Amino acid sequence: MTLNAPIEPSPVEALPDILMRIVSELHDVAYLIERIEPQLLDVGGGAELLKSPESMKVMQGIDLAVQKTRGLAEFIDTITGEIPQDWAVDVATALSLVKLSEMQKALGGGMRHGHSQPLNKAAGDFDFF
């Protein structure tokens, strides 16, 4: 992932469109968090890892993070349906605070499907940052 590549958002965008891009990003975050748990079980030896109370708390925290992220996505998705399409906001300042360029593009509407996380990367791929 690269940092802060400047993008040119339209000066004002429809609020429902922006919120749906946020929903997409939240679903990506939930997916990424969810992928951590099986990796921890593999690395930590599954049964041994689950014997430790502290490890169990971490695993439960991962599950809770996924549930909360998906819950936020569903909440925003649902209320977005109630927002008139003609409500608009300027996203330039908010986008300038986002440090990941892929996320800036996704939230600013610069990506076709609105996802900043390349979910289809091959195993072993990584980005320097």
**pLDDT for 26-69, tens place per residue?**
999 999 999 988 887 777 666 766 677 887 888 889 999 999 99
Q: To the nearest 10°, the Cα dihedral for 22, 26, 28, 29?
A: 130
For position 51, what pLDDT does the model report?
75
Higher pLDDT: 85 or 8? It is 85
Question: Whole-prediction pTM value?
Answer: 0.74
Report in angstroms the alpha-carbon separations of 112 from 21, 65, 69, 98, 105.
Answer: 11, 27, 23, 19, 10
| Residue of 98, 36, 22 whose CA lies nearest to 66 | 36
CA 129 from centroid of its chain's CA atoms: 18
Higher pLDDT: 25 or 8? It is 25
| Cβ(73)–Cβ(19) below 8 Å | no
Over the stretch 91-126, which tens digit does the pLDDT of each residue have? 989 999 999 988 888 888 866 455 555 555 544 555
